Structure 1
Amino acid sequence: MQISIDPAEGITSVKILPGEFYVTQDNERIETVLGSCIAACVRDPIAGVGGMNHFMLPVEKNTASVSELSDANRYGNYAMENLVNSILTKGGRRERLEFKLFGGGRIMSSMTNIGWYNIGFAFDYVYTEGFQLVAQDIGDVFPRKVIYYPNSGRARVRRLNPMHNQSLAAQENQYIHNIESKPVEGDVELF
């Protein structure tokens, strides 16, 4: 996570990477760059709290070997629950949460289509949990830069030039290799 002041807007800008999430009640923006990953932007408009996650893989099925919470967030099932629970802890209410989903692009034709699995997981999660999906920009072949303003709920998406797909794909492949070789650990309650 990288925190800085955006010179154009004069507000705190928090950049998150795969496996990270950030929740705020302040006038801040959260941003990330997505390839096949998914980012969920979630907020409670009444409580004025919201955040964003960034996950690479849909689910970790071996929940018996959980030890480090930050590693767990690489999987959608942990990333979604941790984001929602953090918002609830700061005063949000489940019935008021609004979701916006981004990413899941197939940025390299030679890669497995993990993006579609991520999209399927994200939609299944939102609808199974009874949350309201208010916006989406998912699928296709583009990487994306997403900037989210939790206070207002505004999200900006820029579809990036495909010339950067190779480096983004290499980063995603390296990330997958790293997470597959490291066990997931942490204390998370999934409900």
Structure 2
Amino acid sequence: MKKPVDAPDVVLAPGQVSFATRPMRLRTLLGSCVAFTFWHPQRRIGGMCHFMLPARLRKGQPLDGKYGDEALELLLRHAHVNGTRAQDYQVKLFGGGEMFPEQQRRLPEQDVASLNIRAALALTERHHLRLTAQDMGSTGYRTIVFDLWNGNVWVRHQPMGTLQ
């Protein structure tokens, strides 16, 4: 299906969450960050988040899309407000690329990419979401394009040390 004429392109920066109820193309660029895409196949609505860190230490503040648990909570709230159940969405996960593979890390808590991947998978399981696809890990960055009118997600992965 071709892009609808009136469907805008929206580029998500790190920490942003977007949810739409009309045709739209969502884009983002991920390194060690992770994106959730949510798509409701019957209603053709959904959204995407681009989170930077799994969670923050200090709680009790307004939700912030920079953190995986809070970005997912924002998407879940959008689903609820639109009269849908989170379990009815097709969920896809992308990102978590190691951006500095040449640096040997001694402490696992310094590996942000792996922490983000583990958090995304744990959140998916905790909320009983229907994970239909994932492309996470390895090295380098990913360009993500999500078409809300049909649920297609396009991924271009550029591993470190390769030119395309």
Please name the residue that 1:94 is paired with.
86
Q: Give CA-to-partner distance per residue, 1:102-160, whole Å, 9 cap, x none.
A: 00000112374201100000000001111110001100002000000123110000113
TM-score by length of 2: 0.85
Please name the residue that 2:156 is paired with.
158
* Alignment counterpart, residue 60 of structure 1, candidates 56, 62, 67: 56
Deviation, structure 1 residue 48? 1.9
Please name the residue that 1:29 is paired with.
25
What is the DSSP-based 3-state SS (H/G/I as helix, E as strand, rest coil) of the residue aligned with 1:126? Answer: helix
The letter of the residue matching 2:45 is V
* Alignment counterpart, residue 142 of structure 2, candidates 126, 138, 144: 144
Note the residue ranges of structure 2 that are not aligned, 5 or more in a row: none
The letter of the residue matching 2:97 is G
User: Counterparts of 1:48-127 in structure 2 under 5 Å?
Assistant: 48-64=44-60, 66-67=61-62, 69=63, 72-109=64-101, 110=103, 112-127=110-125
The 1:128/1:161 distance shift into structure 2, 3 A limit, reads closer
The 1:157/1:9 distance shift into structure 2, 3 A limit, reads farther
Q: Percent identity?
A: 29
Note the residue ranges of structure 1 that are not aligned, 5 or more in a row: 1-7, 165-191
Give 4+ residue runs of structure 1 displaced > 4 Å after superposition: none
Deviation, structure 1 residue 46? 1.7
The letter of the residue matching 2:70 is Y
For residues 159 and 71 of structure 2, what CA distance do their matches in structure 1 show?
27
Which is helix-richer, 1 or 2? Answer: 1
For residues 75 and 86 of structure 2, what CA distance do their matches in structure 1 show?
12
**Is the 2:139–2:159 contact (alpha carbons within 8 Å) kept by the matching residues of 1?**
no
What is the DSSP-based 3-state SS (H/G/I as helix, E as strand, rest coil) of the residue aligned with 2:149? Answer: coil
**Is the 1:49–1:90 contact (alpha carbons within 8 Å) kept by the matching residues of 2?**
no
Q: How many aligned positions are there?
A: 153
For residues 125 and 52 of structure 1, what CA distance do their matches in structure 2 show?
15
What is the DSSP-based 3-state SS (H/G/I as helix, E as strand, rest coil) of the residue aligned with 1:52? Answer: strand
For residues 12 and 161 of structure 2, what CA distance do their matches in structure 1 show?
22
TM-score by length of 1: 0.74
What is the DSSP-based 3-state SS (H/G/I as helix, E as strand, rest coil) of the residue aligned with 2:78? Answer: helix
Please name the residue that 2:132 is paired with.
134
Deviation, structure 1 residue 91? 2.9
